[in-house]
Structure 1
Amino acid sequence: MNNPIDSNKMLSEDIDQTLKKRELFEQFRNKNILVTGSTGLIARVLVYTLLVANEKLNLNLTLFPIARNVEKAKRLYGDWYDSKALQFIFQDVREKIECDQKLDFVFHAAAATGSKTLIERPIESFETQVLGMENILRLAERDDAKVLYFSSMEIYGQPVIEGMSTEKDLGYVDPLVIRSGYPEAKRACEFLGKAFSEERGVFVINARLAQTFGPGVLKDDNRVFAQFIRGAINKEDLVLHTDGSSLGNYCYIRDVIEALLLLIKVGKTGNSYNVVNEATNVSIKDMAKLVANKFGNGKVVIDIPDGPTGYAPKVNLHLSGEKMRDLGWKPTYDLEEMFARTIESFN
């Protein structure tokens, strides 16, 4: 068993590119870092990146990833699972976080995201986010640690403005729709972070993440971009289970990782930041056509099932990335390049 990047040239290249920005990593020298949701895509690639940085830059950092499934963690981290720099904590974040070490940084990503789970287990899904956030904030208060919360573009709900949405332009979310538990929990967590920042002096930043993908996506990922990739590789028709008119906002995984490292270094506590490549704003249907025409058999089929699907509601949202750009961050790959590199990593 090898480490996870040995067989993924694209992911290894991305991490090496990020390591060129050495100033982003010096903040972690001799520090302890807690990462929740460590088997999910973004947190996992973040941990991979920090592990490589630790080896190549001699940072002497220690990572405390939180996960619930031991076997899954062993499978996803390979030989790194036994690294001295990696000390897994296996628990549910809804419970008090069991970490006796003094922490310097917390990257909080844990959340239920599967469409089926959000519909069938709305209470547990909501609690995972809100109770988890409170537990993280109390731990950060104990240790005077910096917290970066992984929020979501879904926090915007249905936009009430025309044009691009900045961090102040929140829209409408119906609290009586079961699927709304996800964005409502994100809103509640951002409020908790702001409250702990104002009342207790805890350093908290929210990264409102666009849909993120790239090398590191698992082949059995069930999100729409992964479904499109598998269909394109197999030269199958790309099947949409909605009319595909909802506008999506996307960002490449390496760009997101660099944004997170920059935010926890120079971001302002109590603030939220959109992490998005503005040039990737596109409807689901047009994205399917791009993938089908560039990488697949050229065919897109719409097949809308009866009954609830658990998909996020249709939106016309175009996120602004201006606030992140003001910090000196800029995305690299466009949507076609994102798919090309992810497909190559799958192959």
Structure 2
Amino acid sequence: MEPAWNDILTPPRPKSSKTILVAGGAGFLGSHLCELLIRKGHRVVCIDNFSTGRPENVRHLRSSGAFTLLRHDVVDPIDLKVDEIYNLACPASPPHYQADPIHTTKTSVLGALNLLENAARYNARILQASTSEVYGDPNVHPQVESYWGNVNPFGPRSCYDEGKRCAETLFHDFSRIRGVEIKIVRIFNTYGPRMRPDDGRVISNFIVQALRDEDITIHGDGSQTRSFCFVDDLVDGFLSMMASPASLTGPVNLGNPVEFTVAELAGQVLALTGSRSRIVHRPLPTDDPRQRRPDISLAMHELGWQPRVVLAEGLKRTIAYFEAVLAAERRKLTEVA
């Protein structure tokens, strides 16, 4: 369960208060970011087309007096006078971004272009939430920011991978040509409360399957690795990057450098939920990375940032959230019946 937020919804407004645009602010990451920004005393304008974001993720923020929610698709131009912009607008799980790959590419490319134009118009600093997927199925391990990646340009994941790579290009070109103050972070696997039950990524899949006592589905033999960062740590990294000197444009990796196999993750979820689920194996999806772990030396040195929440603790908090979500779903079904 998430805590009550009454104590953070009317924070004092400091002299340094800013008006901040969060694109994709009703999504998993965006809603946590909006919440943190309001807690810091800023005014937040959240835009979202609700393709994967949900109004209930930010409903508790509406009474703050510092939060505005607008339905808007970043594929369309925008004109809002703000001090800072965070671009988190794009589905991030393979089932969601592959459902409409053309729109996914448009969201990454046209969305970045439209937000950059708005930043240039009002001299706003802007942060791009890029992704570790720009490294593809990496031949360098752990992944450092200087690695150019190993990406399939026309596979089923390319709409996301290449869209984010192109967005980074646009950010750097707007910095060089138009003088826009840019920040780019590359996000590694992140998890926590407010993930959707149908998110499609490995942690949410395993937890939901375990809580329903369904088979836990491992693609491949489970030896592929991931590094899992709790959402609170990640959004702290966003703020640290945004506040860094203008000379630090990025990209900067943000993620947890502790590496686990997918099989180890499944074992932890089973142990923490007490589930009776069996583990079953399915074929690996096309272009699924074999290894994923960030080198966060740059973030540690330049931002003083590193994750604090260990996987076991983060899983407990995420499991508690999903237990509440699934219990609410069961109550609704009972009422309908």
Q: TM-score, normalised by structure 1?
A: 0.82
Residues 52 and 91, structure 2, Cα contact 8 Å, conserved in 1 = no
Cα 1:89–1:312 change in 2 (3 A) is: farther
Q: Which residue of 2 aligns with 1:118?
A: 97
Q: Which residue of 2 aligns with 1:329?
A: 305
Residue 31 of structure 1 and its aligned partner are, at CA, apart by: 1.3
Distance in structure 1 (CA, Å) of the matches to 2:278 and 2:311 = 18
What's the RMSD between the two structures over aligned residues?
2.9
* Structure 2 counterpart of 1:342, from 304, 307, 318: 318
Q: Describe the SS at the equivalent of 1:337.
A: helix
Q: What CA deviation, in whole Å up to 9, does each residue of 1:68-121 have, x standing for no partner?
A: 24997543322433543112222110110142xx21110100013342343342
Report matched runs for 1:183-222 at 5 Å: 183-222=161-200
Distance in structure 2 (CA, Å) of the matches to 1:122 and 1:260 = 27
* Structure 2 counterpart of 1:245, from 210, 214, 223: 223
Distance in structure 2 (CA, Å) of the matches to 1:132 and 1:72 = 16
Report matched runs for 1:1-347 at 5 Å: 8-9=2-3, 29-54=16-41, 61-69=42-50, 74-81=55-62, 83-99=64-80, 102-161=81-140, 163-266=141-244, 268-279=247-258, 281-297=259-275, 300-304=278-282, 313-326=288-301, 327-347=303-323
Letter of the 2:307 counterpart: P
Residues 214 and 253, structure 1, Cα contact 8 Å, conserved in 2 = yes
Q: Which residue of 2 aligns with 1:58?
A: none
Identity across matched positions, percent: 27
Letter of the 1:144 counterpart: N
Residues 112 and 170, structure 2, Cα contact 8 Å, conserved in 1 = yes
Distance in structure 1 (CA, Å) of the matches to 2:52 and 2:240 = 32
Residues 293 and 299, structure 1, Cα contact 8 Å, conserved in 2 = no
Q: Describe the SS at the equivalent of 2:257.
A: strand
Distance in structure 2 (CA, Å) of the matches to 1:65 and 1:176 = 32
Residues 130 and 189, structure 1, Cα contact 8 Å, conserved in 2 = yes
Q: Which moved more, 1:221-230 or 1:238-247?
A: 238-247
Distance in structure 2 (CA, Å) of the matches to 1:218 and 1:32 = 28
Cα 1:335–1:155 change in 2 (3 A) is: same
Residues 226 and 262, structure 2, Cα contact 8 Å, conserved in 1 = yes
Distance in structure 2 (CA, Å) of the matches to 1:67 and 1:131 = 15
Distance in structure 2 (CA, Å) of the matches to 1:165 and 1:239 = 27
Q: Which moved more, 1:36-45 or 1:240-249?
A: 240-249
Letter of the 2:112 counterpart: M
Distance in structure 2 (CA, Å) of the matches to 1:248 and 1:123 = 27
Q: Describe the SS at the equivalent of 1:278.
A: coil
Cα 1:89–1:211 change in 2 (3 A) is: same
Residue 245 of structure 1 and its aligned partner are, at CA, apart by: 3.1
Structure 1: state its 5+ residue gaps: 1-6, 55-60
Q: What CA deviation, in whole Å up to 9, does each residue of 1:13-61 have, x standing for no partner?
A: xx98xx9xx9xx97x833110000112111111111222333xxxxxx3
Cα 1:295–1:170 change in 2 (3 A) is: farther
Distance in structure 1 (CA, Å) of the matches to 2:96 and 2:316 = 30
Residues 63 and 87, structure 1, Cα contact 8 Å, conserved in 2 = yes
Cα 1:291–1:272 change in 2 (3 A) is: same
Q: What CA deviation, in whole Å up to 9, does each residue of 1:218-263 have, x standing for no partner?
A: 4454322112112333444322244333221221111111111111
Residues 214 and 342, structure 1, Cα contact 8 Å, conserved in 2 = yes
Q: Describe the SS at the equivalent of 1:87.
A: strand
Letter of the 1:188 counterpart: C
Q: TM-score, normalised by structure 2?
A: 0.85
